[in-house]
Amino acid sequence: MLARFEEVVDADEKIEPRDWMPADYRRALVRQMSQHAHSEVVGMQPEGNWLTRAPSLARKSILLAKVQDEAGHGLYLYSAVETLGVDRESLFRALHEGRQKYLSFINYPTPTWADVGALAWLTDGAAIVNQVPLCRSSYGPYARAMVRVCKEESFHHRQGFDALWALTRGSAAQRRMAQEAVDRWWGPALAMFGPPHAQSTHSERSMRWRIKRHTNDELRQRFVDVCVPQAEALGVTLPDPALRWNAERGHHDFTPPDFEELRRVVAGDGPCNRQRVAHRRRAHEDGAWVREAAAAYAAKHREEARW
Ligand code: FAQ
């Protein structure tokens, strides 16, 4: 069975929920996909914070659509994790009890409207670089969920760029606000890709199983190379004096993010960790009656269908 599993993975075909898979492969998927689902759902908070204060009706509608998309991504991903035999309630419990993680950047605040633009331009941009290869992940339900997610992330990225574009073409105060927000989000966006390869505990195995396709460092480099011309078009400076084109490597040199800070934020000590998890727990408790009503409605229909 192991030989058959490896044959399918090596041939770049998909493993499906009905197929036999090694217990460690299943565990690796549950870990990464549930963290991914949690990131989408908790990730609604930094921008949700600005829904009632968006500068125009058009900006509000766009932001509302984006935040709702994140909830949808969470749903695709929780459903995909359920195909591995893990129920959704237990995933929520793990998140609320701090046993499962979500991505580090979500633990940073969005103090100005420009942060909403910078957050989306940089972290949705990073999410696209990370997630496009996941569309070819070896686990079918994960790969298929990613195709839809990536299409929506492109809109998210674009609307962040557009919000910054408007600010960088505005008054001196607006240009300053945009630059300061980019200064705040550059580091967290670079750190999103995870620890350097030498310190990555899961990469080797996840790459062998084709759950992920590239090292964290390869994706981080790709992200930097993509961002530089976009920053030039926007007219903002990326806050790294070491950032320059290296013709020999065919890539930009850059200063790596502060991995010690990443470690602290992942361990629960970022600027907004406690606030994000407390808010998530409260939202879950407040929504209990909706889940109960939906379950009762579904049960009633099942009963009627039997008759
Ligand atoms: N934050 O061995 P590796 C979005 C953990 S959100 C927190 O390198 P791996 C919505 C890692 O889990 C985008 N923890 O791990 C949005 C592991 O811990 P563990 C969601 C991190 O798995 C956008 C340990 O460190 N996308 O789009 C981080 O091979 C904008 C060792 O690390 C995904 O989730 C981190 N940054 O590589 C909302 C992508 N980095 O489990 C609002 C899917 C590492 O042993 C605005 N995930 N860790 O306790 C992945 O691609 C991978 O899991 C990585 C990490 C690349 C995150």
Q: Which residue has a Cα nearest atom 26 of ligand 1?
A: 36
In degrees and rounded to multiples of 5, residue 157 shows phi and psi of: -65, -45
Query: Which residue among 30, 35, 123, 207 has the greatest number of ligand 1 atoms within 8 angstroms of its CB, and so is best to mutate?
Result: 35
Q: Is the pLDDT of residue 43 over 80?
A: yes
Q: What is the pLDDT of residues 182-226, one digit of tens each?
A: 999 999 999 999 999 999 999 999 999 999 999 999 999 999 999
Mean pLDDT of 248-264: 98
Amino acid at 223: F
Q: What is the pLDDT of residues 277-292, one digit of tens each?
A: 999 999 999 999 999 9
Point out the ligand 1 atom lying closest to the alpha carbon of residue 40: 10
Q: Which residue has a Cα nearest atom 40 of ligand 1?
A: 194
Which residues form the pocket of ligand 1, taking CB atoms under 6 Å from any ligand atom? Answer: 31-32, 35-36, 39-40, 43, 70, 101, 103-104, 119, 123-124, 127, 130, 191-195, 200-203, 206, 212, 216, 266
Do 164 and 178 touch, CB atoms closer than 8 A?
Answer: yes
Which residues pair with residue 253 across a beta bridge? 244
Can you tell me the distance from the alpha carbon of 124 to that of 15, in angstroms, rounded to the nearest whole number? 28
Half-sphere exposure of 225 (CA within 13 A, CB side): 14
Can you tell me the distance from the alpha carbon of 52 to that of 64, in angstroms, rounded to the nearest whole number? 10
Q: At what angle do helices 288-306 and 273-286 cross, to 10 degrees?
A: 40
Q: Is the pLDDT of residue 263 over 80?
A: yes
Q: What is the pLDDT of residues 142-172, one digit of tens each?
A: 999 999 999 999 999 999 999 999 999 999 9
Q: What confidence score (pLDDT) does residue 267 get?
A: 95
DSSP class of 222: H
Q: Is the pLDDT of residue 303 over 90?
A: no
Average pLDDT, the chain: 97
Q: How far is the CA of 58 from the centre of ligand 1 (A)?
A: 32
